[in-house]
Amino acid sequence: MAKILFVSKSELSIEFAQLFKEAGYTVFAQVKSANEARRIVNEKEIDLVVINTPLTDEFGHDLALNIENKVFTSTILFANSELVDAVEQKMFGSTVIVMSKPVSKKALYKTLGYFKAQQQKMAKVLDENIRLQEKLEEYKLVARAKMLLMEKNKMTEEMAHKHIDRTSKDQRRTKKDVAKSIIDMYN
* CB atoms inside a 10 Å sphere around CB 23: 19
Q: Three-state DSSP class for 33? A: coil
Q: What is the pLDDT of residue 26?
A: 87
Give the separation between CA 17 and CA 4, rounded to whole angstroms: 10
Q: Three-state DSSP class for 151? A: helix
Q: Which among 155, 139, 141 has a CA at the least distance from the CA of 187?
A: 141
For domain 128-186, give its CATH number from 1.10.10.10, 1.20.120.530, 3.30.428.10, 3.40.140.10. Answer: 1.10.10.10
Q: What is the pLDDT of residue 34?
A: 96
Q: 44: Cβ–Cβ under 8 A, 6 or more apart, which residues?
A: 3, 28
Q: What is the pLDDT of residue 24?
A: 87
Q: What is the pLDDT of residue 127?
A: 95
The residues with which 102 forms a beta bridge, in sequence order, are none
pLDDT beneath 50: ranges in the chain: none
Q: What is the pLDDT of residues 71-91, one digit of tens each?
A: 788 999 999 999 999 999 999
CB 97 within 8 A of CB 75: yes
pTM, rounded to two decimals: 0.76
CATH no., domain 2-103: 3.40.50.2300
* Domains in the chain: boundaries: 2-103, 128-186
The yes-or-no answer to whether 2-103 and 128-186 have a common fold is: no
Q: What is the pLDDT of residue 178?
A: 94
